[in-house]
Structure 1
Amino acid sequence: MAEVLHVVKHPTGFYSAGATTVFASRYDQRFSYCLYVPSAHDPDGAPLPLAVLQHGTGRRGPQYRDNFAAWAEEHDCVVLAPLFPAGIGDDPDDLHGFKFLRYGDIRFDHALLAIVDEVGERFNVRAERFLLHGFSGGGQFVHRFAYLHPDRLAGLSIGAPGRITYIDQNSPWWIGLKGFEEEFGCAPRVAELREVPVQMVVGSADVETWEINNQGDSNWMDGADTHGVTRVARLTALRDNYAEHGIDVRFDVVPGVGHDPMRVLEPVKDFFASILTPRESS
């Protein structure tokens, strides 16, 4: 998609409109973000909704942002793509730390919230509750984020996570929620998640297992394959697990699509649009 830039009334000017430049986070300058700011944005007008697109292992945030540019214009919604670089912390080869929210002394959920709040200060958006999508490693991040911060979510879209945290108090973190309070200092907020619109999305051909059945690697835990060996099977199990706990899920399987984040985004856009513009029941 060609880059589209719009000059809007904003003190930071040209590079803060349309597809923006990349900004360092004031919270921690190891992290950064870019946005798509639609032409409807007006510092003196009504605040716009915010959609956050959390990257996966490949850190393809600007591609997500650009994919959503036309949608952002159509729905007058600011799009935010944060970046958590690989190799943060003591291990220069680490790819996965952000997916589990806490890595060493870093809390990636806090980093995301700080970026959202910063965007809320710099732009005229409704940052108190936002739409959130993540795919693959991003899908891991977003559903774990929701156990901690459902009060900040206007909608949650979980895309094809390979390693899943089920609502299960008998299985240890991060397969389940046993030890969650020791890890994060608070209990998981499952009851509040029932009030958040939730989507799960995966391609029907997302069945390769080489990356998600890697016993012995840093992002493996015994029992991760209890509910299946493919992303489709594991996400289906998570849907059923959520239903058992009173959480309604819109479940989208995209025909013929493998593990390709850009090819599952149309149902995500439709889901987000249904929240921004509720449809009348027929």
Structure 2
Amino acid sequence: MIKRTILSIFAVLFVFSGSFAQDDGKFRRGGGMMVFTGYEPMKEHPVNLYYYIPTQGNIKKMRVLISMHGAERSGRIQRGVWRNLAEEYGFIVLAPEFKHDNGYLENGYQFGWVSEDPKIFRLRPREVWTYQLIEAVFDYFKEKTGNVSETYDMFGHSAGGQFVHRYLLAMPEARVGRAVAANPGNYTYPDERGLFTPSGEPADPPGWPYSVKDTPFASDDYLAPFFKRDLVILIGTEDTEPVSPDMAENNPNRIQGRHRYERAWKFFNASRDIALKKGLEFNWTILEVPGAGHNSGQMVYGQGSVRNWRIENDERVYNLKDVTGRGAYSLIFER
């Protein structure tokens, strides 16, 4: 891949030292933020849309990455993780931010507001799923900039990794190219039977959001395109904080694994086995980042030791010299 010239470095420094773009609904080069209310069914639940557009190159032809934050609920952090890479290699980052104050609690973010209740599955109308906002943001960006991309790529860390893999399950029509779900805390198993303890006791709850049991997503109409996706489950080898010893045996998190590292492998293997049994195409991959813990920068750059290049307004920006072939950047843009 062709590197940018030294002029781009000065351009980046200029952008970093300047203020962010005004929230007037327009996209400008560099870093910016706007409040997105452009999807009518969810207009009362606005989303802060952070973005980064390289200072050089043809915006209309750049690839688009949508990066989903973790439980810290910071689009600024996701933009910071990617912005040096975006500037150097010429792609656009859109980082929506789903705040608790706007109604996006765990059920509204990680679980996509698919159900009225996270413990008792009551299907909401499809047009008011949180997932619908991603497609709307992509269309809004294309409309305002003239970008001609037909697909977008996705990355999500932690709670964002939960969002990404459930998004691919629930939205078979979504225009996603490549997707990386990094270090999710839990998963939705594509098993219509639900989750059970080793002794055979049902999980509490046994179904959504921890499995597809008794949901529309148990159908092959959803599972076939889900398994067919270009999805990487990316897990840090040091993301091994154990579940609490006080956690009930039938808690879905405990059933899925002792820690995130184990849960990733159990979910991937179970999903592959289900796809094989059903005779469905399975295109997922699972990969490890050696030495990485529960950290977005480590997962994007592909190693457990990354250095902050600088910090501005609480936004960490990483050193390009730390990028490896094992992180989300390489998996999305160099494969």
Same fold (TM over 0.5): yes
CA RMSD of aligned residues (A): 3.2
Structure 1 equivalent of residue 328 of structure 2: 268
Q: Deviations over 1:78-132 (max 9, x none)?
A: 110001101443x9xx455310011646521012222222112112334542111
Q: Is the 8 A contact 2:236 2:299 kept in 1?
A: yes
For the residue of structure 2 that corresponds to 1:69, the secondary structure is: helix
Provide the rounded CA distance (Å) in 2 between the counterparts of 1:170 and 1:126. 42
Q: Assess if the C-alpha contact under 8 Å between 1:53 and 1:81 holds in 2.
A: yes
Residue of structure 2 equivalent to 1:98: 109
| 2:184 paired with 1:161 | yes
Partner of 2:77: 63
**Cα distance in 1, alignment partners of residues 31 and 168 from structure 2:** 27
> More deviation in 159-168 or 236-245?
236-245
Aligned pair 1:19/2:31, yes or no? yes
Which moves more between the two structures, 17-26 or 56-65?
17-26
For 1:203, which of 225, 229, 236 is the aligned residue? 236
- Any conservation in 1 of the 2:232–2:286 contact (CA below 8 Å)? yes
What corresponds to 2:8 in structure 1? none
1-side partners of 2:30 and 2:239: how far apart?
33
Report the identity percentage. Answer: 22
Distance 2:170 2:14 in 1: 35
Pairing 1:111–2:125 present: no
Give the TM-score taking structure 1 as reference length: 0.79
1:79 equivalent in alignment to 2:89: no
> Could you list the runs of 5+ residues in structure 1 that have no partner in the other structure?
276-282
Structure 2 residue 225 is matched with structure 1 residue 192: yes
Give yes or no for contact 1:34–1:82 (8 Å, CA) kept in 2.
yes
Name the counterpart of 2:267: 238
Worse-superposed segment, 156-165 or 102-111: 102-111
Q: Which residue does 1:247 correspond to in 2?
A: 282
Provide the C-alpha distance between the structure 2 equivalents of 1:203 and 1:39, rounded to a whole number of angstroms. Answer: 32
* 2:72 partner amino acid: G
Question: 1:32 aligned to 2:48?
Answer: yes
Shift of 1:4: 5.6
Contact 2:67-2:78 at 8 Å conserved across structures: yes
The change in CA–CA distance for 1:212 and 1:32 in structure 2 (over 3 A counts) is: farther
- Confirm or deny that 1:135 pairs with 2:157: yes
CA contact (8 A) 1:117 1:127 kept: no
Tell me what 1:149 maps to: 171
Q: Secondary structure at the match of 1:243?
A: helix
Could you tell me which runs of 5 or more consecutive residues in structure 2 were left unpaired when the two chains were aligned: 1-11, 19-23, 117-123, 195-206, 276-280, 302-326
Larger radius of gyration: 2
Structure 1 residue 144, shift from structure 2 partner: 0.4
